[in-house]
Amino acid sequence: MSSSLKIIHLASAGMFLGNVIVSGVWSFMAERTRNHAVIQFSNRLVLITDFLFTVTGALGIVITGHLMASRYGGDTAHGWTTWSYRLLGVSGLIWAFVLLPIQLKLRVLLRRHDHITPEYVRLSRLWQIAGAVATVVPLPIIYLMVSKSS
């Protein structure tokens, strides 16, 4: 297995996990200020960094993971590879169909109002909960990749 492929895979995983964790913390801390301008700034940058780091990291993980899985008999040859694909897929689906739409709604609310509305607070809580789930779901992949057990 190519060392550079493994390095790219690990760097992609670091970008992906690092950004999803930092984005949640950053948003949480910004919202604690209750300052509309700070929250709006945070929301804008979370959207930008999600596209720069989360999407790039996820693509890097999937592409390099798929290339490396061929050395072990393919992506479904072992339980650990199958579960890794599933867990990353669940996280990606939560991001694409729950987190991103909520982030975009939050952005609209922040642009439409000069204060934090009850709808914003409700959606933000949902975003934090779904984001925590989307962050925790892929963490077992680290164990699966290192131990290569089912």
- Kindly tell me the sign of the dihedral angle through the C-alpha atoms of 50, 56, 62, 65: negative
pLDDT in tens, the chain (150 residues): 578 999 999 999 999 999 999 999 999 999 999 999 999 999 999 999 999 999 999 999 999 998 988 887 877 778 888 999 999 999 999 999 999 999 999 999 999 999 999 999 999 999 999 999 999 999 999 999 888 865
Q: Is the pTM of this model over 0.85?
A: yes
DSSP state of 142: H
Q: Which two tokens stand for residue 44?
A: 């804008």
- Of 142, 149, 99, the C-alpha closest to 124 is 99
Q: What is the pLDDT of residue 57?
A: 96
